[in-house]
Amino acid sequence: MKKQNLDTPYLHLLENISFEPVFILGLHRSGTSILYKMVDSTGYFNSVTVYDIVYYNSLIYNHVKGLKEEKKEELDKYFKSKNATDRVIDRLEVSPDLPEEYGFHLNKKNMFKGLNEKNYDVFLELCKKVQFTNDPGKKLLLKNPWDFSNFMFIKKRMPNAKFIFIHRNPLRVINSTLKAFRTVLKKRSGYYDLISPDAKKLYENPIIINGGKLLLYQNLPIAVMIVVEHFRKATRYFLNNIPRLQEGVDFVEIRYEDLCREPVKNMERILEFLHIKIDDAEYFSKFVKPRKLILSKDVEMMKKYIYTRMKRYFSYCGYNLDTPLF
């Protein structure tokens, strides 16, 4: 679906396309996906969808030729044929219109990628294609957790960028991250095979799969320590750089736990920041379904280590070791 580039003759149509970018950023497994879906549901935004990633090389062609809906149906049939009903790592239902991370498109050789000077033009073209093939008058909603520790680069390249930061208890984030890795290693997904060529290569490499399973063995603390150090670095960047932005002008921030407790109130605050008013915000309540959490053995064992290593971020967000887990 991605290989043949049918858009080349039409790229000139993107020359005068502009957009207002709104980035949803947070640590992996912090709630960025559900927040992305909730904000997108208002209808006031264009967003990067699964369809946009899969059919990137023919987005303009499909739009001009009136093939967009046909290709979405084709994609939907593929997911059904692979029994790909959700994203495996969470309960978000898979569909061509599901908002997804732009990071999957940035570099096909690296599935873990944030924005940089080398891939910025690729990202810019993606944004323009999404705007051109949808409503050019809407804001563009974007999400990529890898850029949580990269927002000043984005602000430098896109001075008009707005940010929605979402925070979540680090214990919950780390536990969920490890659970996601374990789930992905255990169960191959037709969904990730399609949107990430690197995921497909990973599944076909028994050395990586078996090595990953060993590394993630719950009685060993190694995986926890690796994830903690990665998140510590990301949160340190956030804490050191967030004072450079103006709250209420450049960004708004919420906690996942507060979004779960009061979805309407927190969504109204986000939309107010973006100068958007909707008539009935009560429907946001249906999106959030908190689940009881039991920490894995390794995370439970390493709780104090996690708190010590990330104490500054715990404090900034108002968390401690006794904070209820969502």
d(CA 122, CA 103): 11
Q: Is residue 272 one of the residues assigned to a domain?
A: yes
What is the pLDDT at residue 185?
Answer: 79
CA-closest candidate to residue 259, choices 269, 249, 245: 269
Q: Binning pLDDT at 50, 70 and 90, where does residue 154 land?
A: very high
Q: Are 6 and 61 in contact (CB under 8 A)?
A: yes
Q: Binning pLDDT at 50, 70 and 90, where does residue 189 land?
A: confident
Residue 324 vs residue 230, higher pLDDT? 230
Q: Is residue 2 one of the residues assigned to a domain?
A: no
Mean pLDDT, to the nearest integer, of 305-324? 95
Q: Are 69 and 62 in contact (CB under 8 A)?
A: no
What is the pLDDT at residue 300?
Answer: 94
What is the pLDDT at residue 251?
Answer: 99
Mean pLDDT, to the nearest integer, of 86-114? 79
The whole-model pTM stands at: 0.93
Q: Is residue 153 one of the residues assigned to a domain?
A: yes
Q: Give the tens place of pLDDT for each residue, 38-55.
A: 999 999 999 999 999 999
Place of tokens 């990301």: 234
Q: Is residue 3 one of the residues assigned to a domain?
A: no
DSSP 64-115: HTT-HHHHHHHHHHHHHHTT--B-SSS-PBP-TT-B--THHHH-TT-SS---
| Per-residue buried b or exposed e for 3-38, using 16+ beta carbons within 10 Å of the residue's own CB | eeebbeebeebbeeeebbbbbbbbbbbbbbbbbbbb
User: In this model, does residue 261 exceed pLDDT 80?
Assistant: yes
Q: Is residue 69 one of the residues assigned to a domain?
A: yes
User: In this model, does residue 264 exceed pLDDT 70?
Assistant: yes
Mean pLDDT, to the nearest integer, of 177-202? 80
Question: What is the chain's mean pLDDT, rounded?
Answer: 91
pLDDT more than 90, % of the chain: 73
Query: What is the count of structural domains for the chain?
Result: 1
Mean pLDDT, to the nearest integer, of 58-76? 97
SS3 63: helix
Q: How are beta strands 162-167 and 21-25 bridged, if at all?
A: parallel
Q: Is residue 178 one of the residues assigned to a domain?
A: yes
d(CA 231, CA 305): 13
Q: Give the tens place of pLDDT for each residue, 116-151.
A: 999 999 999 999 999 999 999 999 999 999 999 999
Domain, as residue range, for 140: 8-317
Q: Is residue 325 one of the residues assigned to a domain?
A: no
For residue 167, the cross-strand partners are: 255
CA 300 to chain centre: 26
Q: Binning pLDDT at 50, 70 and 90, where does residue 29 land?
A: very high
Mean pLDDT, to the nearest integer, of 68-92? 88
Kindly report which listed range (27-36, 103-112, 147-156) carries the lowest average pLDDT score: 103-112
Residue 109 vs residue 239, higher pLDDT? 239
Q: Is residue 39 one of the residues assigned to a domain?
A: yes
What is the pLDDT at residue 112?
Answer: 54
Taking every pair of C-alpha atoms in the chain, what is the biggest distance, in angstroms? 59
Q: Binning pLDDT at 50, 70 and 90, where does residue 218 land?
A: low
Count Cβ atoms below 10 Å from residue 267 Cβ, excluding itself. Answer: 24
Residue 290 vs residue 301, higher pLDDT? 301
What CATH number is associated with residue 159? 3.40.50.300
d(CA 222, CA 230): 13
User: In this model, does residue 106 exceed pLDDT 60?
Assistant: yes
